[in-house]
Structure 1
């Protein structure tokens, strides 16, 4: 009887150990190695969609999610992705096809959206074993913007129209835009801009600067919510310099191999966010002062995704 009692205790102890080590089924929250690190770049839209990615993983898995939002620019996030979450980096973030193509791969711009996506998907997989999941739906292309009344007064509709009077104007742009080959350097070469002055500034200061007439032209993203708030006009890229910038999650292949369910979970966001919806979400944060994490969660609930 004593032997049977000892065997029973041993069996219980083994069962407890198996459960605590996560060997008795799927991934357990907080278990060693069962953590996904989600990152984002340092602007509103990125923080919103980064939180969407994190929320989806939390809602549909038992994985522990660590959020590293507002990390920095493209190079910071991409280097963090290459390191991986286990090495003080990240495992997944949302990137843009045009940025991947020109800024990361150093390739020529491709204007066809499908071809651009196919190219970055292949090259990222071949070079770094990083997977592009399905695009979220919106195209956050770079653009230039001026005040609506300024555009009417000077009859400006296109970048070419703007070029004709660029020597009288000051351009304000983010530091990344002023340096990237798919930003101002390439744009200047394509259109021949000769601005009276260019100013590099923090991403949030551009709209204040144009509102205060410190600059007359700013770089912008097509889905910026503050375009509406400040009554700005998006100018037409009539020579088609900027490639498409469709947003999509990029994730390490080794993470997908370990947690294959993440592919279907994150692809629930595919084609769910239009340009207009993304602009509205950005405006809720930048224009109405709501928290990006709250805006992200509410959107997912409205779509029935969580």
Structure 2
């Protein structure tokens, strides 16, 4: 495990630096905004106990709402990416900062305040020379609690394209890659420790110096985000991909092809942008211009009222027409490979029982034990449906986590499992996917889903992406996924190597 972790660090240094930068900026922006809201609010309510208690209750209720639910509520109003992530983090950080500041200010000995009044000190003098200095240990404690909470919760920003270290954690969970999962978790923990230590150091400064430091941070953050927006070139398009190695390979192909035809066009990549729903909404809202989507996913999840044809050409045409009519989006021709469901067995069993098709498996199924992912096992159009279509009668069927099923198959605990036909584990564990000879599973061909205004504004984009039509076989995709997921090679290098090998680049 340690070797895998070190290899990941050395081969993905640039990705790690970018993720750290995104995570730090998200966390800093959230803690500063939350502090600017919570501390003045606590000061204004310290002499109004009933109102203070009401605010405490409201802040407490907000914290009980699951963070994913908060992100989901924000998306229709503020879109996807950094902004909803910061808003959600601020909402979660207000409670500990307000609570500690309010407690610190209201628990000061009344005798001290009465003495200050007896000396004729002004409210301003009492606040800045007596109350805030005495409450400062509690305020700093609230800031440290909020900072740790923010850094941990910020990992969920990866689900909505907010970036950060959560990308490594999400990919690690999805691909059962413990090295990536540990990398994201360890770096998040280290960030929390570092920021906690920095807040402790800041606590030694005077109130005046603290105020100057906060103002400097706001100016720097504003300058960073403002400069980033200002410096964006006019000829820029955004290409995003879902979580995982395969989408990252595809978007790097898109980038190389587009920029090769139009060097003045700057293609910004957003890998690990999130799930299907998030990225589709981002395209419709204009936050993303292009992303690779599968024909079966379009028909099953994105478009209402469409049945899924089991003929690849018909499925693509249906998806294309539906996207055009219902979402005003263009769907360019797909690549050759299919990333659909299949049943997989060990190579040794395929030879032993002469298994080539799912029909062959049906004959031998009473002698074999199957283990399926929970969703595949339960959904009607997955195992229950294919069981009926092929008359499968396994000796035993187990439902298990998707991350465990390949290990169980490799270790001989089960004999059959469900697989996606481009999974890198097929190559890593020397597995055989059986041909779906009755075409039970619908086609899942990857194709570029593009905003129409991009094709109008930059006609060369369509020409560039059409080079991938009918290219990339299943074996090609398995090999590339293996290089990225198992060997931890850079997705951009793997994508470019394929394009150059097949003479797709100018």
Residue 55 of structure 1 corresponds to 256
Superposition TM-score, scaled by structure 2 size: 0.48
Counterpart selection for 1:143 from 342, 346, 356: 342
Counterpart selection for 1:100 from 277, 294, 298: 298
Structure 2: distance between partners of 1:215 and 1:73: 30
Higher alpha-carbon deviation: 183-192 or 221-230: 183-192
Q: Which has the higher helix share?
A: 2
- How far the C-alpha of 1:152 sits from its partner, in A, is 4.2
Evaluate the alpha carbon distance shift between residue 212 and residue 74 of structure 1 in structure 2; reply closer, same or farther with a 3 A threshold: farther
Residue 439 of structure 2 corresponds to 240
Residues 201-228 of structure 1, C-alpha deviations (whole Å, 9 max, x = no match): 24xx543342234543332222334313
Structure 1: distance between partners of 2:380 and 2:461: 33
- Root-mean-square deviation (CA), in Å? 3.0
Alignment of 1:255-274 (within 5 A): 255-274=454-473
Structure 2: distance between partners of 1:182 and 1:40: 26
1:211 aligns with 2:400: no
Structure 1: distance between partners of 2:290 and 2:381: 23
Residues 67-119 of structure 1, C-alpha deviations (whole Å, 9 max, x = no match): 2212334333323322332xxxx221111222222333363331222211111
Q: Which has the higher strand share?
A: 1
Structure 2: distance between partners of 1:183 and 1:83: 32
Higher alpha-carbon deviation: 151-160 or 90-99: 151-160
Evaluate the alpha carbon distance shift between residue 69 and residue 208 of structure 1 in structure 2; reply closer, same or farther with a 3 A threshold: farther
- How many aligned residue pairs are there? 271
Residue 171 of structure 1 corresponds to 371
Residue 112 of structure 1 corresponds to 311
Structure showing greater relative contact order (alpha-carbon pairs closer than 8 Å, 6 or more residues apart): 1
Alignment of 1:183-194 (within 5 A): 183-184=382-383, 186-188=385-387, 190-191=389-390
Residue 36 of structure 1 corresponds to 237
Evaluate the alpha carbon distance shift between residue 81 and residue 192 of structure 1 in structure 2; reply closer, same or farther with a 3 A threshold: farther
Counterpart selection for 1:71 from 259, 273, 286: 273
Are 2:427 and 2:479, in contact at CA under 8 Å, matched by a contact in 1? no
Evaluate the alpha carbon distance shift between residue 259 and residue 69 of structure 1 in structure 2; reply closer, same or farther with a 3 A threshold: same
Are 1:102 and 1:182, in contact at CA under 8 Å, matched by a contact in 2? no
Evaluate the alpha carbon distance shift between residue 171 and residue 71 of structure 1 in structure 2; reply closer, same or farther with a 3 A threshold: farther
- How far the C-alpha of 1:136 sits from its partner, in A, is 2.1
Instruction: Give structure 1 stretches of 5+ with no counterpart.
Output: 1-28
Residue 19 of structure 1 corresponds to none
Structure 1: distance between partners of 2:472 and 2:253: 11
- How far the C-alpha of 1:143 sits from its partner, in A, is 0.8
Instruction: Give structure 2 stretches of 5+ with no counterpart.
Output: 1-230
Evaluate the alpha carbon distance shift between residue 180 and residue 43 of structure 1 in structure 2; reply closer, same or farther with a 3 A threshold: farther
Superposition TM-score, scaled by structure 1 size: 0.75
Report the secondary structure of 1:196's partner residue.
strand
Structure 2: distance between partners of 1:251 and 1:273: 20
Evaluate the alpha carbon distance shift between residue 227 and residue 125 of structure 1 in structure 2; reply closer, same or farther with a 3 A threshold: same
Counterpart selection for 1:282 from 481, 486, 489: 481
Structure 2: distance between partners of 1:289 and 1:139: 23
